[in-house]
Each structure stands twice: as structure tokens, then as C-alpha cells.
């Protein structure tokens, strides 16, 4: 509901996200904006922030690795524009077909993954309340480094000077350009073509638009924001920092909401994950994607959980790996369990150590305690799967077949089920059986060679060594 309100408030607004730069300092074959921050390419975070703020016209300017970036971002419903040559930030904005713009525009960098929808909403609010033509988002930094410096005269903005082109005095200024701007579209249409490339890099700097518009008495002002907004990723160290900051923030939110976390600094929970209050997360746990954790559920160390739904009071023991599965209330899993996609573990069921499952519906209160592989299977309720059980689901025709085991079945250890196969309710499978025919309910199936006894097969020591005997 709040989003709908924001949408009404912000429309019509356009976002232009600059992402054509090479990212040389990443030293990586992957385009910079596709490097992941907490599981998502960093540019997705920027697009998501725009969408959260209710901006629907989102234009991405790509260049280096453009076709790869395009395939990633297009599925988020944005428009992609190519900047043929990287001639500078002003040229990049022009590449987004500024002649087709109307209303207010926000310009963002694709490598600023910490920016959030609420930040953008605030910027638009200030911009509109102050009836500005152009605003640059600034922040105050202890170490302003390579950021462009904001030049003010008697508090009023005059220009932005790039660090590379700045005098020693200018470099002392702590207020910097975050690289985020808001402008009326007419301002971009009028002034971008006037920007020249007379600077140390020979590039068309978007920052020059400030001095040009100020000279023409346009209404231009800086909007001071939190330092987080200026956080850009230029190398692997900054990428690692961005990850850490996002994980820490999520951990803090969860702690505040009542999740127990033994070592939040060493817990990796992506922002999209939902964890209910009262659950316990041990160190070195990684929770990813659409994962949901119910109340009073405990996740022990070194578990990796992707896109999975864990109910209430589940115990996930150490070193388990879960992917796209559902664990129902009070079930216990692991240690060392591997649950692969489309596995559904019923209430109070138990899956023990070194058990792998793929595409399995495992009934309530059933148990597979040790060393088992179940694939393409449906297991009823209250069934015991003995140690070393295997469903042979993959046949010589390279197709997968299903195993169906009913309720209350007892499967003895070291049994194999050659699918397609079905076992009726309350049947018993003798240990070591290779089941190739359906088993009716309440039947006992024994499918192993009969035990043969050869009496006196091994000679007694006294009979074995006649020479010794003779000596005695």
C-alpha cells in the first residue's frame, strides 16, 4: 500500500542509471555492475531501489560488457541504451535518449549498491518542495579521496571540481559529489549538449552542468545525504565491504526483531530472506534468496540454505545443504544432510546424516536416519527408511522413474528400489533386498540370495598344520 502511495507521488519520474564504465580496477572479466552484493548483481540493487521508490521509467546506459548486462537487467522491466564510446558521464546520460524525457529525472550510478528506495523518495521530496531545477546529492566525508568536491560561495553551490583537476585548497573540501543528481528533463535537454571536454581526462563531465546552470540563474542546490549514498564499488575490496555492510545491516534488523544470533558478524543472511522471531541462527550460516525460517527453528553452524521454506521448531543440524525445499514444522534435518530441489519433508519427520534427497515427498513422522539416497520418491507417513537405502531412479534409458512407498512401511537397511516401483502400506522390506517388483500392503518382501551355510568350511588350526602335530 505504501508503495502505491509512493508511486503516485513520484510519477512521472525517470531514472537514468549509468553502467557503461569498464570497472578496470575490479581486475575481473565480469562487467563491474554484475558483481554480486549479497547474492544479487549490484545493479539489481540500484534498479530495485528505483522500483521501491515508484519509478517506472528506468533507463540503463550500458557499454563495456553491454550485452551481458542487458540480459541481466532487461528481465527487471527496464530499458537499455548503448553508449558507443565511454566519453564521460555527461555523454553517458545523453545516450539515454534525453530528448524523449519529460518530468523529473534522477541520475544514479550502477555501482552504488547501498542506495535505497527510501533515499530516493527523500531526494525527490526535497527537490520538489524546494522547487529546484537541478540538485546534486552530496555527503560529508572525512577522507574525500577521489570524489568530486562541492564548491560553495557563501553557502550557495557554484560548481563541482573533480579531484584530478582540483587545487590543493579545493582538495581540502569535505563535501563531495555522490554522483546522484535530480533534474527537470528540460534542464538536461538544454545543458547536456553544452558541456565540453576541456579537462585532464578529455571527458564530458556531467559535473560541469552545475556551473553552467548556476551561471544561468537556474535554481540549483545540493541535497546532503547519509555517507552510505556515496558508497561506490571500484575494486574487490570495496565489493567485499559492500557485502559485509549489507549482511551486517540484515543481521542488525533480525536481532532487533527478536532473532537469536550467536555471532552476527559471521552470519550471512541475504536481505530477501525472512527469519521469524524466536529462531536461532548459529555462526557461519548462509541463508539465501527466497528462504523463509519459521519461529523457534534452529539452524546450526555451516548450513547453506537456498530458496527454502523451513517451518516452526525445525532443527537443521550442522553442515546441511538445502536448496529449494520445504521443511514442515518440528522436522529435524542433518547433520550433513543434502536436500535438493522439490523436496518436501513432513511434520516431525527426521532426516539424518549423509542423506541426500531430490524431488521427494517425505511423509510426516517418517525417518531416514543415515546414509541414504532418495530421488523421485513419495514416502508415506510413519515409514522407516533403513540405513543405506537407495532409490534407483535413473534408468538405462536415461529417464527418471518414481518410487512410491506407503505409510507405516519398514524398510530394512541396505535396500534398493528399482523404479518405477511401489510398496503398499505397512509392508516390510527385508535388509539387503533389491526390490524390482511392487510389494503389496502388509507383505514381507525379501529379495536377496538365500543364505547358504557350508559347515566346517574352514579347517580347525589343529587340522591345518599336520607337521606341527607330528612334532608334538
Stretch that binds ligand UD1, among 85-93, 273-281, 291-299, 322-330 (CB under 6 A): 85-93
> Nearer Cβ to Mg ion, position 232 or 334?
232
C-alpha cell at 470: 607330528
153 is catalytic: no
Closest approach of ligand UD1 to the CB of residue 117, in Å: 19
| Residue 177 near which of ligand UD1, Mg ion, none (CB within 5-8 Å, type-dependent) | ligand UD1
* Least distance in angstroms from the C-beta of 247 to ligand UD1: 23
Which grid coordinates belong to 204?
Answer: 564530458
Residue 370 CB, nearest distance to ligand UD1 (Å)? 53
Catalytic-labelled residue, pool 64, 282, 350, 370: 370
Residues 51-70 within binding reach of ligand UD1 (CB under 6 A):
61, 63
Quick one: what does residue 176 bind among ligand UD1, Mg ion, none, with the CB cut-off 5 to 8 Å set by partner type? ligand UD1
Which residue number, 61 or 151, has a Cβ lying nearer to ligand UD1? 61
Region for 122 from its dihedrals, namely left if φ exceeds 0, alpha if ψ lies in -120 to 50, beta otherwise: alpha
* Distance of closest approach, residue 232 Cβ to ligand UD1, in angstroms: 4
User: Which residues fall within 8 angstroms of residue 340, CB to CB, at 6 or more apart?
Assistant: 323, 324, 325, 356, 357, 358, 359
Residue nearer to Mg ion on the CB measure, 35 or 184: 35
Kind of pairing between the strands at 338-339 and 350-362: parallel
Residue 413 binding: pick among Mg ion, ligand UD1, none (C-beta 5-8 Å cut-off by kind) = none
The distance of Cα 140 from the centroid of its chain, to the nearest Å, equals: 31
Yes or no: say if 428 and 443 are a contact pair by the CB < 8 Å rule. yes
Inter-residue contact 58 to 78 (CB < 8 Å): yes
The smaller minimum CB distance to ligand UD1, of residues 145 and 461, is found at: 145
Say whether 119 sits in a helix, a strand or coil.
helix
Q: Do 131 and 125 contact (CB within 8 A), yes or no?
A: no
Which residue number, 93 or 435, has a Cβ lying nearer to ligand UD1?
A: 93
According to DSSP, the β-strands at 175-184 and 134-140 are antiparallel
240: which DSSP letter? H
In 66-116, alpha helices (H):
66-74, 89-94
324 counts as binding ligand UD1 under rule CB under 6 A: no
Report, in Å, the least distance between residue 242 CB and Mg ion: 13
CB of 141: closest distance to ligand UD1 in angstroms? Answer: 10
Residue 119, interface with ligand UD1 (CB under 6 A)? Answer: no
Q: Which stretch binds ligand UD1 (CB under 6 A): 8-16, 79-87, 430-438, 448-456?
A: 79-87
Specify the residue, 229 or 349, whose C-beta has the smaller distance to Mg ion. Answer: 229
Question: Which residue of the chain is nearest ligand UD1 when measured via CB?
Answer: 148
Closest CB to Mg ion: residue number: 232
d(CA 10, CA 2): 12
Alpha-carbon span 358 to 344, nearest angstrom: 9
Select the span of 3-11, 80-88, 239-247, 403-411 touching ligand UD1 (CB under 6 A): 80-88
The answer to whether 423 and 437 are in contact (CB under 8 A) is no
* Residue 272 C-beta: closest distance to ligand UD1, Å: 24
Among 45, 51, 89, 332, the residue binding ligand UD1 under the rule CB under 6 A is 89
C-alpha cell at 147: 570524489
Q: How far is the CB of 284 from ligand UD1 (least distance, A)?
A: 33
User: What are the cell numbers at 23?
Assistant: 570497472
Based on CB atoms, which residue is closest to Mg ion, 24 or 462? Answer: 24
- For residue 41, state whether it binds ligand UD1 (rule: CB under 6 A): no
Measured in degrees and rounded to the nearest 5, phi and psi for residue 175 equal -85, 125
Q: Which of 81, 123, 127, 147 binds ligand UD1 (CB under 6 A)?
A: 147
Contact 222, 138 (CB under 8 A): yes
- Does 207 bind ligand UD1 (CB under 6 A)? Our answer is yes
Query: Alpha carbon of 361 to those of 364, 381, 390, 402: distances in Å?
Result: 10, 10, 15, 11
Could you tell me how far CA 345 lies from the centroid of its own chain? Answer: 24
**C-beta of 176 vs 310, nearer to ligand UD1:** 176
| Alpha-carbon dihedral sign for residues 234, 240, 245, 246 | positive
Question: All 3 cell numbers of residue 3?
Answer: 508503495
370: exposed, middle or buried (C-beta count within 10 Å: 0-12, 13-18, 19+)? middle
Binding site for Mg ion (CB under 5 A): 232
Site for ligand UD1 in 166-205 (CB under 6 A): 176-179, 205
Query: Which residues in this chain contact ligand UD1 in the complex, by CB under 6 A?
Result: 18-21, 61, 63, 83, 86-89, 91-92, 109-111, 147-148, 160, 162, 176-179, 205-207, 232
Active site residues: 370
Amino acid at each position: 500500500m505504501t508503495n502505491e502511495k509512493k508511486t503516485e507521488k513520484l510519477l512521472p519520474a525517470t531514472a537514468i542509471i549509468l553502467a557503461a564504465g569498464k570497472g578496470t580496477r575490479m581486475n575481473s572479466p565480469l562487467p563491474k555492475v554484475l558483481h554480486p552484493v549479497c547474492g544479487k548483481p549490484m545493479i539489481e540493487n540500484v534498479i530495485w531501489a528505483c522500483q521501491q521508490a515508484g519509478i517506472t521509467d528506468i533507463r540503463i546506459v550500458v557499454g563495456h560488457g553491454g550485452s551481458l548486462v542487458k540480459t541481466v537487467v532487461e528481465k527487471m522491466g527496464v530499458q537499455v541504451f548503448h553508449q558507443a564510446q565511454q566519453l564521460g558521464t555527461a555523454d553517458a546520460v545523453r545516450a539515454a535518449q534525453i530528448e524523449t524525457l519529460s518530468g523529473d529525472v534522477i541520475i544514479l550510478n550502477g555501482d552504488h549498491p547501498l542506495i535505497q528506495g527510501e533515499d530516493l523518495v527523500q531526494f525527490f521530496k526535497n527537490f520538489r518542495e524546494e522547487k529546484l531545477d537541478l540538485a546534486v546529492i552530496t555527503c560529508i566525508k572525512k577522507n574525500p579521496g577521489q570524489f568530486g568536491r562541492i564548491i560553495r560561495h557563501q553557502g550557495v553551490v557554484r560548481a563541482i571540481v573533480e579531484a584530478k583537476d582540483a587545487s590543493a585548497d579545493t582538495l581540502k573540501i569535505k563535501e563531495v559529489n555522490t554522483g546522484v543528481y535530480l533534474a527537470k528533463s528540460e534542464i538536461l535537454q538544454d545543458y547536456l549538449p553544452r558541456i565540453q571536454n576541456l579537462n585532464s581526462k578529455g571527458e564530458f563531465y556531467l559535473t560541469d552542468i552545475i556551473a553552467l546552470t548556476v551561471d544561468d540563474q537556474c535554481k540549483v542546490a545540493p541535497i546532503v545525504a547519509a555517507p552510505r549514498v556515496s558508497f561506490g564499488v571500484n575494486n574487490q575490496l570495496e565489493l567485499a565491504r559492500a557485502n559485509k555492510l549489507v549482511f551486517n545491516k540484515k543481521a542488525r534488523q533480525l536481532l532487533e526483531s527478536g532473532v537469536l544470533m550467536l555471532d552476527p558478524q559471521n552470519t550471512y543472511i541475504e536481505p530477501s530472506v525472512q527469519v521469524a522471531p524466536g529462531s536461532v541462527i548459529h555462526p557461519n550460516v548462509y541463508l539465501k534468496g527466497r528462504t523463509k525460517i519459521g519461529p523457534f527453528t534452529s539452524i546450526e553452524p555451516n548450513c547453506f540454505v537456498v530458496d527454502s521454506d523451513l517451518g516452526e521448531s525445525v532443527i537443521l543440524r550442522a553442515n546441511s545443504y538445502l536448496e529449494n525445499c520445504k521443511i514442515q514444522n518440528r522436522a529435524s534435518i542433518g547433520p550433513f544432510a543434502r536436500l535438493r530441489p522439490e523436496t518436501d519433508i513432513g511434520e516431525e519427520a527426521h532426516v539424518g546424516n549423509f542423506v541426500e534427497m531430490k524431488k521427494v515427498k517425505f511423509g510426516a513422522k517418517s525417518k531416514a536416519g543415515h546414509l541414504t539416497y532418495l530421488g523421485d520418491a513419495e514416502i508415506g507417513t510413519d515409514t522407516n527408511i533403513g540405513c543405506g537405502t537407495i532409490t534407483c531412479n535413473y534408468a538405462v534409458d536415461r529417464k527418471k522413474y518414481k518410487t512410491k512407498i506407503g505409510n507405516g512401511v519398514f524398510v530394512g537397511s541396505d535396500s534398493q528400489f528399482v523404479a518405477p516401483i511401489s510398496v503398499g502400506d505397512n509392508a516390510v522390506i527385508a535388509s539387503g533386498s533389491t526390490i524390482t517388483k511392487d510389494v503389496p500392503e502388509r507383505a514381507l518382501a525379501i529379495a536377496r540370495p538365500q543364505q547358504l551355510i557350508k559347515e566346517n568350511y574352514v579347517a580347525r588350526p589343529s587340522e591345518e598344520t599336520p607337521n606341527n602335530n607330528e612334532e608334538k
